[in-house]
Amino acid sequence: MIPPILIHAAAVDSWYREPLAAELRDRGHEVVAPDLPCDDESAGLAEYADTVVEAIGNRTELVVVAHSFGGFTGPPVCDRVSADLLVMLQAQVPAPGESPGHWWDNTGYGPARQESDRSRGVPEGTEEDPLPLVLTDTPAALASEFMRRMVAERLGFQPDEMPGDHCPLLGHPEELADGLEAYRAAL
């Protein structure tokens, strides 16, 4: 049994993780899915990490799953708790010391997004701009090529891929749970 820690993306709360959380609970896992203090404009990444660490309590042998913007919270959490694994799920992968505001330019997100939109016929200026994905096979948020390049440059390996879009927690909870269990079993 793994205690999966689900760290959500920006501007959402734990509701969208419920299909994955329910799937994991049905498989006998104790799920921890705290709501980050997104509504508190004074809260930063340190407060986000504090919230997750507090929710973890004294649990050990953790699988931390950081989704999207949660990629900025997952690594500091893993520095503070007994995590066995960090899964960056369609996450922004920060370079050491990189702020969320600098990530966009430093990774080349803008040009990659423009190219992705052109190839999909998305009109310029469209406000459907979810955070990037690591990595599903539907180019709903970013071109898969961009994410493959960014992950390879920053982490040194090619990401695993699964069907879906930016929120496989909603659309593919069974496949995602299978993957998390397989990662844990491989340790």
Residue 118: pLDDT band with limits 50, 70, 90: low
Beta bridge partners of 57: none
Mean pLDDT, residues 119-129: 45
Name the pTM for this structure: 0.84
Which domains, ranges and CATH numbers included, belong to the chain? Answer: 4-186 (3.40.50.1820)
pLDDT bin (cut points 50, 70, 90) of residue 165 is confident
| b/e 116-145 (16+ beta carbons within 10 angstroms → b) | bbeeeeeeeeeeeebbbbbbbeebebbbbe
How much is the mean pLDDT over the chain? 84
